[in-house]
Structure 1
């Protein structure tokens, strides 16, 4: 029985039906309702009276829309670099548009070729880029009464270059807190950079719960008392084996959760930096992120590491603190996923925007990979913090050659304040020194 503004009874032998159909046509009730009631009927001649309904199809009569159709093209809209064989997405926004035709041209608009006809409501179309290399490509979307074309040319390139960015870290980079994977900051970033330039690929090795110790270079000795094993499938060494031109490290708060001192964390970051330098790869360190710690000591560690990363790594530091942090070191409520640890979709979006603004993806990766891979830095890497310092100062360094070491600390007029010697300092391993024997008259400066 099918009922709406009228009713009709349909009889069908469905006990073993494979190709018989019945059909009717009627209008719905005033509120738009059509009711379908299925039950055994006189055509059911089996002893049990059971029936199967395999498929039911409802066809609506088309009605002209009374609203103005709107259509705008998001990608490609000018300046993109899309490689033959890759599958970026043609994306758009639409309202009050039914089906539409997608076309492209590679000769500046003289000849248009149909890609497909789709429903505008799907908002995107995965397109395998055809073998028509050109710098004068455009996409056009056309419906009955509306049409839109790319604002400027994009390029289709017969080029197989891959420019890889690797991400290592913990739960935030792995996507925790986001409602769906596409909303996590790494995936947002991956989509954005790939859509603009299909050469750029983002490899994500992050895993929840990880600390700086998990990501140390393979073979790095773990200090006594630290019961953590380096993950050789997700650490800096694994990331470098993917032959990236850049690595991003995102470790928000797990070290502080374990009360690992700031100095130890910075020593571990320095070891990752040394490994990246040896491979000729750019390393970007994200600051700590706010977390709703109840222990003030943990908040203090977070802030010290944040400030040190910004000072030490400068233009290779990514500020993941300022956009999302309250003054007490907690996550701003509008970005809290609810657990006081992870970010919601809005917070992840801000992190993705922070990385995009850094412009890592805009680097021409070819000369970095081809010309500098395997080249060790000519000078030792030395990090001094805090800066300025009070009663003590920390010195982290990595030598390119094994050597004896002498450290001298001078004041502004050249007076020697500290003279310290270290024998047999190994090459390519982090060495941390703490100078806390300053003369009394210099303490506090």
Structure 2
């Protein structure tokens, strides 16, 4: 039995209670585009939905496409917190748009419910198919068939404040190469500059499940470890190197290096302290580099394991054609354009976004900043974990992952084994 096949899973895999009726409605359209009313011969308007988190990138792509193509795309931006239930309701009512994007981590739920059109052959015909962001392609693949393209890319990296490093007596041009060095440098900044309580060595979202996933797991991957089995049905978060990563952060918190609010940080403001010049070194989303103060000297490094290696959490959104569309060819015309050289370089890279293609990591805009070239290169080295019940297990504030992480860092580490069993139980529901 293939655990990634919808025939081999219970109805409970559906994201946020996505009804079986919604799946049946989507699959009932045949998924082939055979009933499409019009081809992409010109003059069609196709509909697209995206969540607010990727509004800027989506709007730029749509604007550029509409200005140069006869077909047009009508974009609807939906608040991120409302996006998943909106997709579920639209699927049940057979009112999905022609195209919709989704957080890459939730794509397996949508593919398993039959909401995306099979575009395997269309992707296979692209001359740069092997350069498309591998993690996004992997999570958009079910039973050997492909359903989505990468839409936006967000990576986790380490930022360090060069001015604070210099004031603390550290080499401002040499960031951490291991998680142990990360901890040592954070401690040095805190010890030398933290007496007034305004500067801290590091920071992280200690009450935010997604923050832990985004920033801690790459250290596990960099150490050649895993956090789950490939099927996403068993948690490995009670063993090394995950336990060693927890221990390092636990020690930083115990020493007061992380700042007083890290334990209660729920996510909304976790990236807000570094731009103020208050943090020495910390994990950050790569997309925040372009919004940092122009006068701030920032170093960027890959996230490493306790003793080295490098990896990243490849986040962002994927995008696909809904299986109920009547305009599959026109929808593909737009989607294929979004991963073209023109769109990826002149729209995405020009605006400091990470290209969705590994062969364009050193494009003319990125080449102006070695930090951006390094960030782009991580797309091929990072991972995006697969689990049908990822949201309920790891993102939900009431889910088992956050309880485990908080005990491991702030509480009783002896409870980790039992809590890890709870994670596995959640993944298998």
Which TM-score band applies after superposition, normalised by the shorter structure? under 0.3
Bigger helix share: 2
- For CA contacts below 8 A with separation 6 or more, give which structure has more relative contact order: 2
TM-score (structure 2 length as normaliser): 0.25
TM-score (structure 1 length as normaliser): 0.24
